[in-house]
Amino acid sequence: ESLDLPFLSSYLNSLAINFSHGASFATASSTIRLPMADVVPYGHASPFYLPLQYLQFAQFKNRSQFIRRHGGIYASLMPREETFFKALYTFDIGQNDLTQSLFLNMTIVQVIAAIPDLVNHFSDIIKNLYNLGARSFWVYNTRPLGCFPKILTSFPLAEKDSVGCAKPYNLLAQRFNAELKNALARLRIEFPLATIVYVDLYSALYSLYTHPTKNGFEHPLVACCGYGGKYNYSEEAICGGKISVNGKNITVGSCKDPSVRVSWDGVHFTEATNKFAFDLVSSGDFSDPPIPLKLACHP
């Protein structure tokens, strides 16, 4: 909204949808590599992992231009050919690769050992998109995993840092982010005509845990929508689900004021947190190189 641009339509919702301003290929619980966990409907992982999303994009690029060339009532809903060169390609992925591994009982050491391969897979997708004409990339790093109520509840014996987050899991996120930043630096050398921006979302969000009150938040480690325990999170009492309390069935609902809470359901952030983070990172102050989003993304 602040960029005065329309929201992107989902590629998977593709019947008579307006894609003239771009498309979203994102899906919930998607990963960079083929998911290790069971996919929907038997599990919680998305079948649309990053290489498949890339194939969807390549198909979209070809078919959208086919529709434009043949005209008709849908031609104006497709992006122009030059749009693919001018577009900003944004990425926010990798977190689920780390957390799925952890919840499949891999040790932190094992997950760290897999990070280089994970980042190489991501780099390959950037290269493939460049070969299809993409030139501008905006890449978010991953979040402070050790501050998530789900992580804090699932690994209660983990060493805590000064603000109460699980230190080993934040170090894991930092290791992934360092590898990602280095990989993007190498891609800038390989593709000097591309603009590849690394966005430090981790640091922007971590400031909410170090100075919550200053930024208008409270109880940053406690889920807003949940039930039970120190962090208001339980696998048996997920947000929106039903649980039995003292013989009565109740719906697990929201806290009184989500606008002052950091975590929504123990895994995702509240809208207030997302807005806070966006306002910080869109300025360019958390980016390498420090390019504001308004310069990277324009009508």
Query: Helix, strand, coil: what percent of the chain each, to 5?
Result: 40, 10, 45
Q: Which amino acid is at 87?
A: A
Which distant-in-sequence residues (6+ apart) come within 8 Å of 299 by Cβ?
A: 4, 5
What confidence tier does 67 reach under pLDDT thresholds 50, 70, 90?
very high
Question: How confident is the model at residue 288, as a pLDDT?
Answer: 96
How many Cα atoms occupy the beta-carbon half-sphere of 291 within 13 Å? 17
CA distance 198 to 288: 5
* pLDDT band for position 298 (cuts 50, 70, 90): low
Q: Which tokens sit at 92? A: 């926010």
Distance separating the N- and C-terminal Cα atoms of the chain: 12
The angle subtended at Cα 268 by Cα 170 and Cα 298, nearest 5°, is 95
CA dihedral 141, 142, 147, 151 (to 10 degrees): -170
Residue 137 in tokens? 């990339």
Give the span between the Cα atoms of 272 and 263, in whole angstroms: 10
Sorted by where each begins, the domain ranges of the chain are: 87-213+267-295
Which tokens sit at 218? Answer: 């409270």
What pTM did the predictor assign?
A: 0.94
Percent of residues, the chain, with pLDDT higher than 70: 99
The token duo for 81 is 């050919």
Q: What are phi and psi of 90, to 5 degrees?
A: -105, 145
Q: Which residue has the tokens 């996120």?
A: 173
Measure the CA–CA gap between 169 and 174, rounded to whole angstroms. Answer: 9
Q: Residue 287 forms beta bridges with which residues?
A: 199
3-class DSSP state for residue 284? coil
Q: Are 240 and 179 in contact (CB under 8 A)?
A: no
**pLDDT tens-digit map of 262-275:** 999 999 999 999 99
The torsion angles phi and psi of 47, rounded to 5 degrees, stand at -75, -15
On whether the CB atoms of residues 121 and 176 are closer than 8 A, the answer is no
Task: Say what the pLDDT of residue 44 is.
Answer: 85
- What is the chain's length? 299
Positive or negative, the Cα torsion across 76, 82, 88, 93? positive
pLDDT digits (tens, 9 = 90+) for 71-120: 988 999 999 999 999 999 999 999 999 999 999 999 999 999 999 999 99
